Structure 1
Amino acid sequence: MDTPKEKDREIVVSIGGGGGETGEEPSSLSKPKLAYGRTKSIHPPIETFWQLPPQQEHKPSNFGFKSLMSYPIKFRDSLTRLRRTKSMQVVLEGAHDPKDEQVVQSFRKLLLVDGHPLGNLNDYHTLLRFLRMRDFNLSKAKEMFLNFLKWREDFGVDAIPKELMFKEYAEVKKWYPHGYHGVDRYGRPVYIERLGMVELSSLLQITTIERFVKYHVSEQEKTLNLRFPACSIAAKRHIASTTSILDVNGVGMSNFSKPARYLFTEIQKIDSNYYPETLNRLFIINAGSGFRILWKVIKTFLDARTIAKIQVLGYNYISNLLEVIDSSNLPSFLGGNCTCSDYGGCLLSDKGPWNNPEIIEILQAVSTTEDDNGENGVASDAFLQNMKHEESERVERKNADKFALKTIQALEAALEETKTKIEALEAALEDTKMVLKGLAQQNIED
């Protein structure tokens, strides 16, 4: 049996593929091929072939992407009456690689011939992710995809955005600090967890593992249906994966209790089996000796493909993060400049292009246009409505925080004023005492 280190050496990673910030096309040796019985390879970042063609190759258009960003109001008004432009299609769908396109078409036909109802899950991106995860082995990809369809039906995934009222959201964030915050230099969403601050016993007093797992699935769906399309528009190129940061300061074997193991394995199983190829890179930071022992255990739950995307760092990690993420998108507790003070902290803000009102309106217009033409929507109405609801809640929390701050400031001012009055009364009392003492002394002398 191969040791984890031996497995790592077998992994083939393309040069520059870790972050994909350069946008360079990988060498032919690292491109996926239909081959069986070979060493499993780690394919380049999933966005590699999904780039906007050079600007000079396209003629300017009144409704092109450049016009979209320069004149968003004009574009939104016209987009409801027109089909998507070529540039919008490239941004939201990506420029398909011909070899991948051919394999995806074969995979789709294979599924349809067998009579499997795919619904709106037969799009190019979804099928390609499963093919990549199974190294373009059609038989294995089919088995994985069918398991995915069954899980969605059994778990009721499509109903979660409408039915899950996760009212314990703010409390969960308190005991399990996590959240999306900004984008990396390529335009991918940045996801952060502070595992060292998780208090699982307190978390399980306000929610259940089952509800937390459902919430996690809802966030994964939101990322696919809303965050990725919004980031694609903001970055002007197709975005289909995340950059994640795991802060494990203080984490050791004692944190890996039975409930923690169950929660970890459930989430890991869901992410690996049902949301493959959505992670670009994971930074594990503040890894002390306790975590490094635990890491040896955790690695046994992960496949070689995932391990190749993970970089374990100690306490000197800031330069590594700043290479990939601008300081404006990095929270101050990770060495960046952002505090999101208006929202009570960076992990409560859900900061990102998916909260930009203009981008949300563009996605709504695109979704409406697609529905009118019988096409698959980029972002479902449920997620867009939830987005508006969540934004409303964030504004309410922000206003509540401001009101609370003003109340505290008013109380502090009143307290200071009262303190001043008390000091004045004490001074007057002291003066009165001195006067009375003087009068008493005078009476004694008389």
Structure 2
Amino acid sequence: FFVFLDLHVMDGCVMTEADGTTRIDIEAAIDENKMRLIEVKMSLIDLVSENPEELDDIFLLRYLLSFPNNEACIEAIRSAVKYRKENASWLASAKEGDRTKAPDYDELKIHMIAGTHKTTVHGAPLLFIRAGLSDTNITMQCVTEEQLVKYVTYEKEVSFWICDRISRKEGKLTKMLAIQDLTNANFLWNDNRFFSALGASSKVSDMIHPQLVQRAVILNAGEGIKILWQVARLFMSKKTMEKICVCTGFSLESTASKCPYASKWTTTAELPSFVGGSCVCEEGCVAGVPNDFVGKRNQGMAKK
């Protein structure tokens, strides 16, 4: 069986009303926040005038919902515009949706056993991470923290614009779902530079990807979740940590579709077999790795 655990409060709990599948109506949310929106737009008149199509009400709404304080909201928007401008050489192509254009894609695809597979019930990206199939010590011998930050940020940027297009088309604020499978993951021997890079990318995402992730669901955590939580708190942003929840139990014994959260946003047909779903893609559902693979895909790679 599964127990839904919100690690932010470290207490067993059931899903909250906000965890349901009802999406925020964009028009209603803009109307509800119209006074804040006017104030923020006035403070950003220079940026809005330069790029009125991109910095429109829907784009700004995500920031209003993520930053209750107007001053913090305005600062985040300015920082996001600056970041995208300064990193346009490698980030701009993400808007086209081609994940293979991520920086150092050929190198990092071997180490990062993660990727989107099918979609949520609303058509948003459904991200799966198989943390137990890669040795982070080897990863950080082959790439730098900066390379890893760019790679992860690019991946999130692709998903952000996919969610943005769906939101605009349907008039409902749409977010992605991340599912992390910790089968065979060992957190005692991980390279801290790996977590440092993930932490840095989470802070970048707070700034440029507001309202992107609905939840980050962890499956097959085992005893290692206590170690993971302690490590994650040192590196990850507060906003990222607040999105994390755990379904305890083992997905192959009790399908992930019975997880209180995953069952609301996915179907058994969308879930790969390694988390108890019915999907078995010919070359593996995620990152070209067979669903029944065990071990470390990057094991034995030459050190730099």
Q: Fold conserved (TM > 0.5)?
A: yes
Could you say which residue in structure 1 is the equivalent of 2:200? 266
Could you say which residue in structure 2 is the equivalent of 1:110? 43
Query: Equivalents in 2 of 1:287, 1:122: separation in Å?
Result: 40
Q: Is the 8 A contact 2:7 2:246 kept in 1?
A: no
Deviations 1:175-204 (A, max 9, x none): 221011112234332111111112234445
Query: Equivalents in 1 of 2:104, 2:222: separation in Å?
Result: 32
Could you say which residue in structure 2 is the equivalent of 1:17? 18
- Of residues 195, 198, 205 in structure 1, which corresponds to 2:134? 198
Could you say which residue in structure 2 is the equivalent of 1:148? 80
Could you say which residue in structure 2 is the equivalent of 1:219? 155
Q: Which amino acid in 1 is paired with 2:70?
A: L
Q: CA deviation at 1:292?
A: 1.2
Q: Is the 8 A contact 1:133 1:276 kept in 2?
A: yes
Deviations 1:112-141 (A, max 9, x none): 068984565412232122222221x21121
- Relative to structure 1, the CA distance from residue 109 to residue 171 in structure 2 (aligned partners, 3 Å threshold; closer, same or farther) is same
Q: CA deviation at 1:103?
A: 2.4
Q: CA deviation at 1:254?
A: 2.4
What's the Cα RMSD here? 3.5
Map 1:124-143; keep pairs closer than 5 Å: 124-135=57-68, 137-143=69-75
- Relative to structure 1, the CA distance from residue 116 to residue 139 in structure 2 (aligned partners, 3 Å threshold; closer, same or farther) is farther
Query: Equivalents in 2 of 1:330, 1:115: separation in Å?
Result: 41
Secondary structure of the residue that 2:227 maps to in structure 1?
Answer: helix
Q: Is the 8 A contact 2:135 2:190 kept in 1?
A: no
Could you say which residue in structure 2 is the equivalent of 1:81? none
Query: Equivalents in 2 of 1:316, 1:275: separation in Å?
Result: 31
Query: Equivalents in 1 of 2:237, 2:140: separation in Å?
Result: 29
Q: CA deviation at 1:306?
A: 3.8
Query: Equivalents in 2 of 1:283, 1:7: separation in Å?
Result: 13
Query: Equivalents in 2 of 1:139, 1:230: separation in Å?
Result: 29
Could you say which residue in structure 1 is the equivalent of 2:280? 339
Deviations 1:23-44 (A, max 9, x none): 2xxxxxxxxxxxxxxxxxxxxx
Q: Which amino acid in 2 is paired with 1:131?
A: L
Query: Equivalents in 2 of 1:240, 1:292: separation in Å?
Result: 31
Q: TM-score if structure 1 supplies the norm length?
A: 0.52
Query: Equivalents in 1 of 2:154, 2:125: separation in Å?
Result: 16
Deviations 1:212-249 (A, max 9, x none): 3323232222223235425876xx56353111111123
Secondary structure of the residue that 2:217 maps to in structure 1?
Answer: strand
Could you say which residue in structure 2 is the equivalent of 1:418? none
Percent sequence identity over matched residues? 22
Query: Equivalents in 2 of 1:159, 1:186: separation in Å?
Result: 26
The structure that is helix-richer by fraction is 1
Q: TM-score if structure 2 supplies the norm length?
A: 0.73
Could you say which residue in structure 1 is the equivalent of 2:125? 189
Choose 1 or 2 for highest CA Rg.
Answer: 1
Q: Which amino acid in 2 is paired with 1:106?
A: E
Query: Equivalents in 1 of 2:225, 2:234: separation in Å?
Result: 14
Deviations 1:130-156 (A, max 9, x none): 222221x21121122222222223333
- Relative to structure 1, the CA distance from residue 209 to residue 116 in structure 2 (aligned partners, 3 Å threshold; closer, same or farther) is farther
Q: Is the 8 A contact 2:24 2:173 kept in 1?
A: no
- Relative to structure 1, the CA distance from residue 119 to residue 255 in structure 2 (aligned partners, 3 Å threshold; closer, same or farther) is farther
Q: CA deviation at 1:258?
A: 2.8
- Relative to structure 1, the CA distance from residue 170 to residue 301 in structure 2 (aligned partners, 3 Å threshold; closer, same or farther) is closer
Query: Equivalents in 1 of 2:189, 2:88: separation in Å?
Result: 31
- Relative to structure 1, the CA distance from residue 293 to residue 279 in structure 2 (aligned partners, 3 Å threshold; closer, same or farther) is same
Map 1:279-290; keep pairs closer than 5 Å: 279-290=213-224
The structure that is strand-richer by fraction is 2
Q: Is the 8 A contact 2:63 2:77 kept in 1?
A: yes
Q: CA deviation at 1:110?
A: 1.7
Q: Which structure has more RCO (C-alpha within 8 Å, separation ≥ 6)?
A: 2
